[in-house]
Amino acid sequence: MNDTQAQNSQLENQPAKASTDAPSMDDPFLWLEDIHGARAMDWVKQENAVTTKQFVDNTEFVKTRDSILEVLDSDARIPYVNRMGDELYNFWRDKAHPRGIWRRTTLAEYRKAEPKWEVLLDVDALNKAEGKRWVYKGAQCLKPAFERCLISLSPDGGDATVVREFSIPHKAFVKDGFELPVAKSQVGWIDEDTIYVGTDFGPGSMTESSYPRIVKQWRRGTPLSAAITVYEGKPTDLAISAYHDRTPGYERDFVSVAKDFFHSELYQRNGDKLTRLDVPTDADTDARREWLMVRIRSPWTVGGTTYPSGALLATRFDSFMAGERHFTVLFQPDAHTSLDSYAWTRHHLILNLMDDVKSRLEVLTPPLAAAPTGDWKREAMPGAPAMSTISVIDTDPDHSDEYWLDVAGFLAPASLERGVLGSAAAETIKQEPAFFDAAAFAVSQHFVSSKDGTRVPYFEITPKDMKLDGSNRTLLYGYGGFEVSLQPHYSGSIGRAWLNRGGVYVIANIRGGGEYGPQWHQAALKANRPRAYEDFAAVAEDLVKRGVTSAKHLGAEGGSNGGLLMGNMLTMYPQLFGAIACEVPLLDMKRYTHLSAGASWMAEYGDPDTADWNFIKTFSPYQNLQKDAHYPPVLFYTTTSDDRVGPVQARKMAAKMKAMGMANVWFYENLEGGHGAGADNKQAALMHALAYDFLWDQLK
């Protein structure tokens, strides 16, 4: 993941905002937007009690929850690692460490069946010592020594965190070190005494989307108020950040100005001078050693050549900054193939491609510096097994050509492989255990024509002895937004809680995602959002047409943007489903920009406070509920601490449906866990079990 992508992956996050609006005839449930208000929380507790009595307080639920928790807590899971220097680091949660431990080991030790780990930070012990409920949110460590780190801790599992400096040699937080209070901060090392920091500096320092509007350079031993301003954005910008590239011989500083979720400007910083990189604002741009990589989302004409949407381009950084515009095309999409991601090793570039949503890897070798016009060499890497996903999860780009691969399929537990390009072939270092008997099931891929004729793929996992008589309880999952791809993956939880019961599990690769590159995503943006819903409905209809299931036995599940998808299945296509699980959802698209991080996503959905409402209202479930309509049973679940989407949209939707006299409307709100719905494995197991048991019960 490059720096621009890494930033974009965090832009859904901001502190939740409570509405002070009084109830009105248009929306009598605005009082539920007071997230922690006594009246709202009383309502939440009452609804939780009703849902708990119906679905949680029984032996079948306990069985489902415990079977999922056994997977999440299993010591046989792969402890995924990332390399920092000579050590491999891992964050681990299990029954003994519900909030987790941050630890490290050596490669030689990691190869063993039971490695010896050096524990650096025990979050449960920290919580006991400080009387807190911290949730670990990651660490940024200063290379090349990797002895000082900036650790982020959330007080409730949400995205707003404190930042505290940590010493690895001392295994302790640094007294009088860098420290920030709870906020949506963005930080990064410059050197051992200096960091970039974007945070809430006080009134007016945040954008209208509630992200940092100002980035500063902060020196150790000085108050935050004395930090030097590097860049001030506009209130209408999305977020401002800066970072320092410490690659030896290629040290550079950059400032990123995010205009919206998909558009940004990148500047190189030299002292007080900022020079903008002349690339499209909707491109992902990455400088690595002598190379500049540009991954374009829209066709780009430059240097007399037009490059297609979805292409990955490369040129020499210094030459580009000097005005040259000659690019080498490293990847160009076609009707079936897109670029999922890329990763640098010291001397090579690994491309992770998708052929009809199935993985394939290629290795590219750039020309030497002495051959400025040389060609990039290209060769295939051994691909993944059929119906699987292979991901490059770590490399060591400063020092070696080491790479780590995660390989998994729907029925194939993940394996962790390590290799060194040009020498050691990939070898399996760790193997995930099987949490259910895969021999009883089969995986297939199907395609269906959507309403406008677009060919939409979906994956299907079924019992081998399944009869095509329409009687199979089937769970259809989807997302369809933000250029996120749903690829084959192994889930012990789904295997145990759904497949082992005899259920069918289906993943729909609908438009709005990234399965076929930027164009697949852009086909469902803003006014075209209903195309994603038509795709999902087409898959549902195809499952019935093929005899896999019938409407009364077909359930649907989705969260976040996928929760908006579920809301529209509920209001647009209620006749297609027997039950729906709608998780941490967007639903009130009239007010979404005023709730939690909603203003960040206007590039995806549009601005309802403008004429955009004319098309947004067509896919706003909260406004489109009809009193006399017949809706399938629905479960809404969310979390109080979710500071991305927030809990209020699920609250209001459930309350409105209940006020309309609709039966079989269920609601559950976990207090912790943020947008992920669980602050620890036990909470996550409860939430997953609730969804699966609800759907299984309703689809009988």
Q: Just list the catalytic residues.
A: 560, 675
HSE of 270, CA atoms in CB hemisphere, 13 A:
4
Long-range contacts of 179-186 (CB under 8 A, 24+ apart): 180/224, 182/155, 183/15, 184/13, 184/14, 184/15, 184/159, 184/160, 184/210, 184/211, 184/212, 185/152, 185/161, 185/212, 186/7, 186/10, 186/211, 186/212, 186/215, 186/239, 186/241
Give the span between the Cα atoms of 152 and 164, in whole angstroms: 7
DSSP string of 235-260? Answer: TTSSEEEEEEE--TT--EEEEEEEEE
Q: What are phi and psi of 120, to 5 degrees?
A: -95, -40
Which structure tokens are listed for 488?
A: 């084959």
Q: What share of the chain is helix, strand, coil (3-state, %, to 5)?
A: 25, 35, 40
Collapsing DSSP to helix, strand or coil, 163 comes out as strand
Q: What are phi and psi of 652, to 5 degrees?
A: -65, -40
Q: How many residues does the chain have?
A: 700
Integer CA distances (angstroms), 518 to 310, 333, 334, 613, in order: 6, 10, 12, 24
Give the span between the Cα atoms of 181 and 161, in whole angstroms: 7
Q: Are residues 561 and 480 in contact, defined by beta-carbon separation less than 8 angstroms?
A: yes
Which structure tokens are listed for 484?
A: 């996120």
146: left (phi over 0), alpha (psi -120 to 50) or beta: left
Burial of 22 (0-12, 13-18, 19+ CB in 10 A): exposed
Neighbours of 6 (CB within 10 A): 12
Which are the contacts of 7, defined by CB distance < 8 A and separation ≥ 6?
186, 239, 241, 256, 258, 264
The gap between the terminal CA atoms of the chain, to the nearest Å, is 43
Give the span between the Cα atoms of 299 and 361, in whole angstroms: 24
Among residues 186, 194, 278, 282, the alpha carbon closest in space to that of 240 is found at 186
Give the span between the Cα atoms of 409 and 487, in whole angstroms: 9
Q: DSSP secondary-structure letter at 95?
A: S
Give the span between the Cα atoms of 269 and 244, in whole angstroms: 9
Q: Are residues 530 and 594 in contact, defined by beta-carbon separation less than 8 angstroms?
A: no
Which are the contacts of 383, defined by CB distance < 8 A and separation ≥ 6?
359, 360, 361, 390
Which structure tokens are listed for 341?
A: 């991601």
